Amino acid sequence: MVSMHTSPADAPGVGDAGGMNVAILALAEGLAARGMEVDLVSRAVREPEVTAIAEHVTLRTLAAGPLEPLPKRGLAGVADEFGEAVAKLVGRSSPRYDLIHSHYWLSGLATLPVALELGLPMVQSFHTLGAMKNRMLAAGDEPEPEARLRGEAFLSSQVDAIVAGSAAEVTSLIDELRAPADRLWVIPPGVDIELFSPERAADAVAVRESLGLPPARPLLVIAGRAIDESYQRRLETTASELGVAADVRFVGALDRGTLARLFAAASLTLVPSHSETFGLVALETASSGTPVVAFRGSGLRESVADGESGILVGSREPREWAAAIAALLGDESRLAKLGASARGFAEGFTWATAAASLLAVYESLARR
């Protein structure tokens, strides 16, 4: 499994690390549990290393370009060098792998030539699509570059299989990238239902204390760290201008355990994303027994069951969001009922199921 621009071992919520990192690691461990030997391959940002992540799962970082983090828009310039490093790892004379599964378009750009040269099956997961992001672009945001759009379209026509996370992604792949329908597989992400559990709500007071939050005051808690620090400063300025700065807390990137406790302790989780291929956060918070309020768009329509695991809001109008949130917070019975059904919805998505489905894709390519 190739993840060129971010290591699967990186903590989600910092820089480019997010749901993709969680998914790659969980799938690798699920495949290993079924007897597969999995190497996770990423670009080295310090001295290259080989690390055992779990039984039968190994992380290998390869030198390509400077040994330091690079912005995603600068990584295309080292894709050829990274591909050469992958080719050496795979082994030109006698390939030591059965197939290559690249994650994100940059990984595909780097490793497609390797797969073609060695005759290895290649699976591609995009996780996000430039065309989807541009279609749902926020005001003032810079569109994804033409090079990415062309690269994703080219990969879609060349790889042996594309694994999509949702029907919304499949629609975009077919309509906007002209991907061959017979190469598309839909495998929704899973959720760690033991880590993200309603039982962690018992730690509500402790998690407030650990994050420096007052014990009994309604708050909007914003977790994660933006790649562009000016984004958080704009949010802080907006909160001050609206006179609600005392009611908003920025807690930065959280480890998975703390995040799970925060989800369980929260009354609601808000997911206002313009575009989500699936929406793993919505599933994790539902698993924690906390309803979601999310924008009715792209993959969130599949990661949120409207009226069962949360509420989908049909616009990005703040007053409409405020009305939906206030209605839920003012109705404790409905909130509790949604929390219980949210957990049941999330239990239908497991990493074990996702890994088994992915293994079926691999086996079909091996037979072919």
Res. 224 pLDDT band, cuts 50 70 90: confident
Q: What are phi and psi of 251, to 5 degrees?
A: -105, 5
150 in the same domain as 214: no
Q: pTM for the whole thing?
A: 0.91
Do 288 and 230 lie in one domain? The reply is: yes
Residue 66 forms part of a structural domain: yes
Label residue 341 by pLDDT band (50, 70, 90): very high
Residue 266 lies in a domain: yes
* Confidence label for 284 from pLDDT (cuts 50, 70 and 90): very high
Averaged pLDDT of the chain: 92
pLDDT at position 214: 81
Q: Model confidence over 96-140: pLDDT tens digits?
A: 899 999 999 999 999 999 999 999 999 999 999 999 889 888 777
Q: What local confidence, expressed as pLDDT, does residue 368 receive? A: 80
pLDDT of residue 33: 96
Shared domain for 30 and 148, answered yes or no, is: yes
Residue 27 lies in a domain: yes
Both tokens of 180, joined, read 């061959």
The CATH number given to whatever domain includes residue 99 is 3.40.50.2000
Q: Is 239 found in the same domain as 218? A: yes
Using one digit for the tens of pLDDT, what is the confidence trace for 30-72? 999 999 999 999 999 999 999 999 999 999 999 999 999 888 8
* Band (205; pLDDT cuts 50, 70, 90): confident
In this structure, the answer to whether residues 149 and 282 fall within a common structural domain is: no
Angle, helices 79-90/105-118, rounded to nearest 10 degrees: 40
Angle at 203 between CA 198 and CA 208, to 5 degrees: 120
Q: Are residues 171 and 285 in the same domain?
A: no
157 lies in some domain:
yes
Structural domain range at position 228: 198-346
Is 179 found in the same domain as 67?
yes
Confidence (pLDDT) at 329 = 94
- The fraction of the chain above a pLDDT of 70, given in percent, is 99
CA–CA–CA angle 98, 103, 108 (5° rounding): 75
Q: Is residue 98 domain-shared with residue 227, that is, in the same domain?
A: no
* Residue 10 within any structural domain of the chain: no
Which strands sit side by side in the sheet containing 269-271, from one edge to the other?
269-271, 292-295, 310-313
Q: Do residue 162 and residue 185 come from a single domain?
A: yes
Identify the band that residue 156 occupies on the pLDDT scale cut at 50, 70 and 90: very high
Asked if the model's pLDDT at residue 13 lies above 90, the reply is no
Closest-CA residue to 315 (of 304, 324, 306) = 324
Q: In the sheet where 50-54 sits, what is the strand order?
A: 38-43, 57-62, 50-54
pLDDT at 293: 97
Per-residue pLDDT band at 358 (split at 50, 70, 90) = very high
For residue range 236-261, what is the model confidence (pLDDT) as tens digits?
Answer: 999 999 999 999 999 988 889 999 99
Domain count, the chain: 2
Let me know whether 138 and 180 are in one domain.
yes
Residue 270 lies in a domain: yes
305 falls within a domain:
yes
| Gyration radius from the chain CA atoms | 21
In a domain, 300, yes or no: yes
Same domain flag for 121 and 207: no
Indicate the pLDDT class of residue 95, thresholds 50, 70 and 90: confident
Query: 40 - beta bridge partners?
Result: 59
Question: Are both 160 and 209 inside the same structural domain?
Answer: no
Residue with tokens 């005051």: 217
What pLDDT score does 141 carry?
A: 82
For residue 118, give the amino acid letter: L
Q: Check residue 202 and give its pLDDT.
A: 84
